[in-house]
Amino acid sequence: MEHTDKLKQIVKEKYSQIATQEKVVNAASCCGATSASDEVYNIMMDDYGQIKGYRAEADLGLGCGLPTAFAHIKKGDTVIDLGSGAGNDCFVARHETGETGKVIGIDFTESMIRKARENAEKLSFNNVEFREGDIEQMPVSDNTADVIVSNCVLNLVPNKPGVIAEVFRVLKPGGHFSISDIVLEGELPDALRKDAEMYAGCVSGAIQKDVYLGYIRDAGFANIAVQKEKRINIPDDILCKYLDTTAMETWKQGNTGVFSITVYAEKPGTQQTSIKSEASTNTCCPSDSGCC
């Protein structure tokens, strides 16, 4: 428990700092948590520029996918965003669900909640609200959401099965989620795995892909599908802080990989049966979007 609480505090402190930084600083690091990379501008994030409802002022460059683009949000839906940050995915979801729907963002960082609320007020989005809370114990009643989205957040949570169980509880029967996250194939070098900064940077907190998907199955979800997958290349100027030259070459030539995946799954029920066939057969995104 002490270790878990320490990790949570590290994440809270780091993301409180990120809330006050410019996007260019955040996007040039692993989920905004490490010093800026000299080699690339974006390490994990995808480009929201063409997504309807996107608001640049709410984008801190912290994501690793585009979950709202795959989430099958309908007009009038109630949508929950886990780890909502400054409101980016909430505002995209709001465009999809329309004025008759509702969007709830949950974040445990006070400064993020404050920033998101300011953004919503500036945009006059009265059906978007932000709640401060831990996604391991969501401040939401049972069977509330039609859709849950999240972007590069579960990897920051020590108790991942607990969050997935909460997602199941909060979804309506027949509801579904689309979550982008970081997973591993193969073992991380010890220096990366043990470093607190890399934990807050979305890398060392990641778990094996098959374990991640297993947690979703074990929670009772059905029609699980990987909608998108891409490899994350960590630049040399970040790796060199943790690995010597030999270890870096071993890492690059090995079978280990860090991946961003977007996963879809449904809570069994009868609400949205029309989605099930598509989700279970179309396990990859369109060919022009650079995945799989």
List, for residues 67-95, the tens digit of each pLDDT value. 999 999 999 999 999 999 889 999 999 99
Where residue 257 falls among pLDDT bands split at 50, 70, 90?
confident
Instruction: Output the pLDDT for position 156.
Output: 83
Q: Average pLDDT in the 182-199 region?
A: 72
Where residue 201 falls among pLDDT bands split at 50, 70, 90?
low
Say which residue the tokens 């169980």 belong to.
165
Question: Is the per-residue pLDDT at 292 higher than 50?
Answer: no
- Cα 168 from Cα 179, distance rounded (Å): 13
Closest CA to 138 of 121, 153, 119, 117: 153
pLDDT per residue over 5-37, tens digit each?
Answer: 665 555 555 666 665 655 544 444 444 444 444
Measured from the Cβ of residue 3, the count of other Cβ atoms closer than 10 Å reads 8
Q: What percent of the chain has pLDDT over 70?
A: 73
Question: Is the per-residue pLDDT at 283 higher than 60?
Answer: no
Closest CA to 58 of 103, 99, 102: 103
Q: Average pLDDT in the 215-230 region?
A: 97
Instruction: Name the phi and psi angles at 284, rounded to 5.
Output: -140, 155
Chain centroid to Cα 177, Å, comes to: 12
Mean pLDDT is highest, among 33-47, 117-131, 200-214, for 117-131
The pairing of strands 171-185 and 145-151 is parallel
Question: Is the per-residue pLDDT at 101 higher than 90?
Answer: yes
Bridge partners (DSSP) of residue 178 are 149, 264
Question: pTM for the complete prediction?
Answer: 0.80
SS3 of residue 32 by DSSP: helix
User: 187: which residues sit within 8 A by CB, 6+ positions away?
Assistant: 193, 256
Q: Which CATH number fits domain 2-269: 3.40.50.150, 3.40.50.720, 2.40.50.140, 3.20.20.60?
A: 3.40.50.150
Q: Average pLDDT in the 141-152 region?
A: 96
